[in-house]
Amino acid sequence: MLRTPRYGKKNRQLYNKAIEKKRQKYICPQCKTKKLVRVSYAVWQCKKCGFKMAGGSYTPFTETGEIVLRMLGEL
């Protein structure tokens, strides 16, 4: 967490929001439990079933990826 006034309030808020997203647990698409965590840059792994996938850098599913999935579902 940036706790110094050096970079400005807006930048600190954006940084803290990104770090919160990175550290929280998400729902695994395979076993549907809330155990999906970030292993490294854009690599996500479920602690329960061991499912490993590539995703966004701070969240497992990006906004663009969700739009594409919706478009493919309509076809």
Please give the structure tokens belonging to residue 38. Answer: 């970030």
Q: Is 48 helix (H, G, I), strand (E, B) or coil?
A: coil
Is the pTM higher than 0.75?
yes
Of all helices (H) and strands (E), which one includes residue 64? helix 63-74
Residue whose token pair is 């400005």? 8
Quick one: average pLDDT of 11-25?
A: 91
pLDDT per position as a tens digit, 32-44: 999 999 999 999 9
Supply the pLDDT for residue 25.
94
Q: What percent of the chain has pLDDT over 70?
A: 97
Domains, the chain, ordered by start: 5-74 (2.20.25.30)
Q: How confident is the model at residue 8 (pLDDT cuts 50, 70, 90)?
A: confident
To the nearest 10°, report the CA torsion of 14, 18, 24, 27: 120
Q: How confident is the model at residue 1 (pLDDT cuts 50, 70, 90)?
A: low
Q: Is 12 helix (H, G, I), strand (E, B) or coil?
A: helix
